[in-house]
Amino acid sequence: MNFKYLIKLAFSALSMVFVFAKTNAQVTIGNTQTNGNEANNIITAVPFLLITPDARTGSMGDAGVAVTGDVNSSSINSSKLAFLDKPYGFSVSYSPWLKNLVPDINLAYLSGFYKLDSRNTIGASLRYFSLGSIQLTDINQQDLGTSNPNELALDFSYARSFGEEFSLGSSLRYIYSNLASGQFSSGQVHSGNAVAVDISGLYRTTSSIFGKEAVLSAGANISNIGTKMSYSDGGESFFLPTNFKLGGASTITLDDLSTFTFALDFNKLLVPTQPIYDANNNVISGKDPNRSVPAGIFGSFNDAPGGFSEELKEVGISTGMEYWYNQQFALRAGYNYQSPMKGDSRYFTLGLGLKYNVFNIDFSYLLANSQSSPLANTLRFGLLFNFGNKKIVN
């Protein structure tokens, strides 16, 4: 079997999921056109890591880096685990993905936490992404059987509070990408493996807004700082989707029964933007993307061929709100925006939450034009369990 064709085949699965579907503004698998007009021109491996796995955050337009934490916090800001008021808990989330295109792509997420004491919290999570069944053929269109590619990420998190207002957190992540699904393990193609870390922080303080008690918070998370990933011996290595997420939130207590939260997040991938090449594959605008991980991160702020205006287009915006009635029933809504030049992923989200005794049930729905967005009608489901008496955080 032709090696280059296999790589093209394997990545065509991700192209379908992340480029055609426009699930992320800045991720594509493919080549940048010489005219520089390709909209999604940042290339990374394992872009499934940028999908929001839990229903609560998903129903708030993917905003939540500074929102009050829960057991799923390690997926967006592990430092929030330090302020959880229960001794331990776990959750499971599930989402059929791109069901308007194919019926068998899905994302599953399992997470848990345990408070060591009033300041220190540990957590773990598993993210599993299945691309369903893919029919394989060789360069001569001969049937090679069916493949079931899948990817996963296993996380271990630690968070520590420094008083009642500030916390820091970090996650260590092992990433496995089995695009060949064992079909060609005897050849040059193999599964991709990588190790990454997240670094995050959260600051919160009490205040007053319109005469009502409020909690103001700001959060930041740099995720997927890690080794490059390769799918072949001596082949090209791809950046992980290192992402910088910065946001704020305000939670206002209207009365004894009603609480409102408003959130706003900004996102940017910290990986090289693909330059413009001439017919001889020489860079004529932008910067050479073949550089180290640290150089890719720091250079991601000034390497776009279109200059500062294009860099701004690479910043995605997420905003959401959450209303709790009697801390038992929640209504949520949000909006996610990405530039038409960088993915055009624009949609509204809606969601519900129900808290009863030790468990929460969360549900989210993505509202978009079904004719232009394969993400339309995407559902997410989440079930959370929190056990024990409340602990004082100091």
CA distance 202 to 173: 20
pLDDT at 181: 58
Q: What percent of the chain has pLDDT over 90?
A: 57
CA distance 238 to 224: 13
- Mean pLDDT (the chain, rounded): 84
The model's confidence at residue 186, banded by pLDDT at 50, 70 and 90, is very low
Q: What percent of the chain has pLDDT over 70?
A: 85
CA distance 38 to 31: 9
CA proximity to 373, closest of 80, 96, 23: 23
pLDDT at 24: 35
The model's confidence at residue 2, banded by pLDDT at 50, 70 and 90, is very low
pLDDT at 15: 37
Listed in sequence order, the DSSP H helices in the chain are 3-15, 55-59, 293-299, 308-313
The model's confidence at residue 390, banded by pLDDT at 50, 70 and 90, is low
Lookup result for tokens 């409340």 = 390
Surface-to-core class of residue 95, CB atoms within 10 Å of its CB (0-12 exposed, 13-18 middle, 19+ buried): buried
Two tokens at 184?
A: 């060609």
Q: Which residues of 22-38 are buried (b: 16+ CB within 10 A; e: fewer)?
A: bbbbbbbbbebeeebeb
CA proximity to 177, closest of 130, 226, 125: 130
| Alpha-carbon radius of gyration of the chain | 21
The two beta strands, 359-367 and 379-387, are antiparallel
pLDDT at 81: 96
Q: Which one is predicted more confidently, 136 or 307?
A: 307
Beta bridge partners of 79: none
Q: Which one is predicted more confidently, 162 or 97?
A: 162
CA proximity to 42, closest of 28, 30, 31: 28
Instruction: Report the length, in residues, of the chain.
Output: 394
CA proximity to 73, closest of 200, 263, 248, 244: 200
pLDDT at 320: 96
pLDDT at 315: 94
Surface-to-core class of residue 356, CB atoms within 10 Å of its CB (0-12 exposed, 13-18 middle, 19+ buried): exposed
The model's confidence at residue 306, banded by pLDDT at 50, 70 and 90, is confident
> Is residue 17 scored above 80 in pLDDT?
no
Instruction: Render pLDDT for 103-138 as a digit per residue (tens, 0 to 9).
Output: 788 999 999 999 999 999 999 999 999 988 777 776
The model's confidence at residue 145, banded by pLDDT at 50, 70 and 90, is confident
Mean pLDDT of 40-61: 89
> Is residue 214 scored above 60 in pLDDT?
yes
The model's confidence at residue 182, banded by pLDDT at 50, 70 and 90, is low
pLDDT at 394: 57
CA distance 300 to 293: 10
**Of the ranges 134-138, 195-199, 282-286, which one carries the lowest mean pLDDT score?**
134-138
Mean pLDDT of 162-178: 95
Q: Which residues of 122-132 are buried (b: 16+ CB within 10 A; e: fewer)?
A: bbbbebbbbbb
Instruction: Render pLDDT for 226-255 as a digit per residue (tens, 0 to 9).
Output: 999 988 887 788 999 999 999 999 999 998
> Is residue 274 scored above 80 in pLDDT?
yes
Whole-model pTM: value is 0.84
pLDDT at 32: 31
pLDDT at 12: 39
Mean pLDDT of 271-295: 87
Mean pLDDT of 14-37: 34
- Domains of the chain with bracketed CATH: 3-387 (2.40.160.40)
pLDDT at 360: 93
Highest mean pLDDT among 99-113, 213-227, 276-290, 358-372: 213-227
The model's confidence at residue 7, banded by pLDDT at 50, 70 and 90, is very low
